[in-house]
């Protein structure tokens, strides 16, 4: 059978969304527009409203939070959105944070907390739907799995959990966030199957998840787990472009 890519199948997608803004009318508009979009896409949406960052974080602290999307106002009284997002990341590394703001002044600080997107409050009516589309596409992509065979057993891992593939003679060492797997396969074949999935060949022996690259300097890159990998001279530009694209 070899390897394959497959999309996790769900009869109906359900998304849990946190809406955190100190303006009631803004929360109402975000929920209404999200509800309309989800209905059009046959998605079940579960919404939880928060008037401040403290109550949002309390939901994580007491274990009731399971949000895939967090719509978060940047400028709020007491705890602002940036501070709330930093604290949130201690509980959830995967939630898609979308900053909702009246000013783009603090938007670039979103990189500190791996914010997914931002929308200006004055542009919600015409820009928010596109952001929801991108959120859904991202969540569907992270549900994809890569399947490999060892002997007679098939093992599936989420693409989002893969750090990189390492070729060692005839074997592949698959490095994931949870550990490693070793099996027989050709790295060229894996690269072909993962084309268009945010993976880039940085070296003859390494195929990496561009979303997990943290630094690119000259002939080496550093992955999110701290591993340093070589970059072939002929592949430097491809790695640079892939890492920038993955940060979009």
Give pLDDT tens digits for 43-94: 999 999 999 999 999 999 998 888 999 999 998 888 889 999 999 998 988 8
CATH 3.40.50.2300 residue window(s) in the chain: 10-142
Q: Report if pTM > 0.85.
A: no
CATH 2.40.50.1020 residue window(s) in the chain: 145-246
Angstrom CA distances, 127 to 33, 119, 130, 132, 139, stand at 11, 7, 6, 9, 19
Give pLDDT tens digits for 182-238: 999 999 999 999 988 889 999 999 999 998 999 999 899 999 999 999 999 999 999
**What are the structure tokens assigned to 35, written together?**
């509800």
Q: Give the CATH architecture of domain 145-246.
A: Beta Barrel (2.40)
Give yes or no for residue 102 having a pLDDT over 90.
no
Q: Could you give the CA distance from residue 76 to residue 72 in angstroms, rounded to a whole number?
A: 10
10-142 is classed CATH 3.30.70.270: no
């Amino acid at each position: 059978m070899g390897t394959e890519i497959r999309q996790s199948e769900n009869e109906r997608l359900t998304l849990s969304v946190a809406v955190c803004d100190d303006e009631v009318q803004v929360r109402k508009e975000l929920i209404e527009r999200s509800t309309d979009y989800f209905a059009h896409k046959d998605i079940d949406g579960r919404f939880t409203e928060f008037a401040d960052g403290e109550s949002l974080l309390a939901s994580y602290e007491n274990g009731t939070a399971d949000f895939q999307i967090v719509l978060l106002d940047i400028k709020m009284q007491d705890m602002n959105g940036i501070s709330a997002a930093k604290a949130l990341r201690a509980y959830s590394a995967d939630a898609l944070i979308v900053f909702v703001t009246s000013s783009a002044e603090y938007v670039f600080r979103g990189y500190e907390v791996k914010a997914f997107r931002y929308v200006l409050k004055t542009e919600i009516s015409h820009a928010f739907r596109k952001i929801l589309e991108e959120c859904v596409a991202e969540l569907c992509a992270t549900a994809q799995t890569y399947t490999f065979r060892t002997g007679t057993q098939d093992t599936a891992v989420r693409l989002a959990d893969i750090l990189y593939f390492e070729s060692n003679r005839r074997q592949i060492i698959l490095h994931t966030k949870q550990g490693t797997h070793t099996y027989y396969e050709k790295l060229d074949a894996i690269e072909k199957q993962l084309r268009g999935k945010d993976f880039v060949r940085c070296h003859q022996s390494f195929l990496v998840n561009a979303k997990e690259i943290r630094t690119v300097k000259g002939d080496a890159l550093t992955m999110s787990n701290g591993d340093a990998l070589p970059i072939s001279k002929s592949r430097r530009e491809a790695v640079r472009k892939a890492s920038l694209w993955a940060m979009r």
